[in-house]
Structure 1
Amino acid sequence: MAEARVYLVDDNAGFRDSTAWLLETAGFEVLPFASGPEFIEAYGADRHGADPECLVSDVRMPEMSGLQLQEELGRRGIVLPLVFVTAHGDVPLAVEAMRKGASNFLEKPFGEDALVDAIRAALANARNKGAVGAVGECLAKLSPRERQVLDLVIASKPNKIIADILGISIKTVELHRANMMSKLGVRSLPELMKVALGHA
């Protein structure tokens, strides 16, 4: 049985083919699409929320950009963990995408493990948002800003990128990280990841 379903949206056929093969090898079921509109048309209500699923989308596409796709999904009430990929190193666009709720962004070319890890983290984070019990109680202690910092730490973003995304200083990010780890009772990044992803 597939680990999860991944919808892959990219106008570059070569990238779609190679990435689909990579993700299938990693155990995912992959449904590739050449454009945002093609994906939206195919994404039936019967699939919505039925299985663990994640959307991987290019940022820059001719017919509908990744950000426009993200906005359209929001308008339709479709909530999917979303990982953006871009060949342009367009950090401001990616920062905007994460402000609007994307789980992560990767610059092409990226290592094979980087995308697989980003998808698994996005899926785990999505599961965690609905988690209850001890982990949910721990996370409830965090301020909204600390929770934002936590989500970006889980997405493997360094302090400088976190500061850019949230529009705060690196020192403030460091302070939020320290407070967050104290509230969650962890002393290291691996411990933090375990608690945040619900494996504590």
Structure 2
Amino acid sequence: MATDVRVHLVDDNTPFRDSTAWLLETAGFEVHAYPSGPAFLAEWPSRRRGDGAECVVSDIRMPEMSGLQLQDTLRRQGCNVPLVFVTAHGDVPLAVEAMRKGASNFLEKPFSDDALLDSIRNAVAGARARGDGAVDSEVLAKLSPRERQVLDLVVASKPNKVIADILGISIKTVELHRANMMAKLGVRSLPELMKVALGHG
């Protein structure tokens, strides 16, 4: 899937931006790198694919425009491109807020190459599944709004503790929602759940 996916990389740290762009290009992604949110937004209209085969990877704390401000700007423009945030440990509360606002994932620095590549692939697959209606609407209709939220976060590879923090509920409540959700979807394992959620079931 990587070869037909465009990644927009937004980070003010030049060494990190250069090394990450090289990693993504080596993995087969088409990469456009930007030193700031405004620089990305200036180029975005001409580089946007609009077919679900793209992803924005952005630092969450930058001097000119934060990742959250970039996210808000895109949403105001009616753009639902999947967003993956990278963040330092102290920025995790900001990243949690970003997830509440619909970000696909966040990764704490330092993270492994595979973690970033998997996050991008999952983000794009999730966006395509939503765009294509890949998940049977009748199946999703069985889920409560909270179970849908838990499903999205499980697909984003978030552990129960992080899901609890993002949704403001207890870990036990998350476990209960996960159990109910899996029962309603007729799956018994996380791999089965991922297949159904991403439209490959």
Q: Secondary structure at the match of 2:194?
A: helix
Alpha-carbon offset, residue 129 of structure 1: 1.4
| Structure whose residues are more often helix by fraction | 2
Shift in Å at residue 11 of structure 1?
0.1
Matched AA of 1:16: R
Quote how far apart the aligned CAs of 1:128 are. Answer: 1.5
Matched, 1:108 2:109: yes
Verify: 1:22 aligned to 2:23, yes or no. Answer: yes
Contact 1:142 1:183 in 2 (8 A): yes
The letter of the residue matching 1:27 is G
Please report how far the alpha carbon of residue 71 of structure 1 lies from its aligned counterpart in structure 2 after TM superposition.
Answer: 0.6
Which AA in structure 2 matches 1:54? C
**SS at structure 2 position matched to 1:106:** strand
CA distance, structure 2, for counterparts of residue 46 and residue 91 of structure 1 = 30
Q: 1:64 to 1:46 in 2, by over 3 A?
A: closer
Residues 118 and 46 (structure 1), Cα distance of their counterparts in 2 relative to 1, 3 Å cut: closer
CA–CA distance in 1 between the matches of 2:98 and 2:72? 10
- Superposition deviation, residue 61 in structure 1: 0.2
Q: Which runs of 5+ in 1 are unaligned?
A: none
CA distance in 2, matches of 1:197, 1:76: 26
What does residue range 1-12 of structure 1 map to in structure 2 within 5 Å?
2-12=3-13
- Do the aligned partners of 1:135 and 1:196 also contact (CA within 8 Å) in 2? no
In 2, Cα distance between equivalents of 1:140 and 1:123 = 23
In structure 1, the residue matched to 2:126 is 125
Q: CA offsets per residue over residues 30-83 of structure 1, 9 Å max, x none?
A: 000000000001011672514610000000000000001001111111221000
- Give the letter for the 2:57 counterpart: V
Question: Within 2, Cα distance between the matches of 1:17 and 1:186?
Answer: 41
For structure 2, the residue ranges without an aligned partner over 5 or more in a row are none
What does residue 98 of structure 1 align with?
99
Say how many residue pairs are matched: 200
Q: Distance in 1 between matches of 2:108 and 2:71?
A: 18
TM-aligned CA deviation for residue 143 of structure 1: 1.2
Tell me the residue number matched to 1:57.
58
Give the counterpart letter for 1:135 in structure 2.
D
My pick for the range that moved more, 35-44 or 80-89, is: 80-89
Q: 1:74 to 1:133 in 2, by over 3 A?
A: closer
Counterpart residue number, 1:188? 189
Alignment of 1:28-177 (within 5 A): 28-44=29-45, 47-50=48-51, 52-132=53-133, 135-177=136-178
Does the 8 Å CA contact 1:5/1:28 hold for their aligned counterparts?
A: yes
- Tell me whether 1:199 sits opposite 2:191 in the alignment: no
Partners of 2:174 and 2:59 in 1: how far apart?
28
Cα distance, 1:134 vs structure 2: 6.2
* Deviation at residue 25 of structure 1 after TM alignment: 1.1
Distance in 2, Cα, partners of 1:119 & 1:95: 18
* Corresponding letter in the other structure for 1:176: H
SS at match of 1:8: strand
Q: Deviations over 1:104-162 (max 9, x none)?
A: 00011100000000000001111121233663332232111101001111111111110
Contact 2:52 2:131 in 1 (8 A): no
Once the two structures are superposed, what CA deviation does each residue of 1:85-107 show, in whole Å capped at 9, x if it has no partner?
Answer: 01244221011000000000001
| Larger mean Cα displacement after TM superposition, 111-120 or 137-146 | 137-146
CA 1:46–1:118: 2 relative to 1, 3 Å: closer
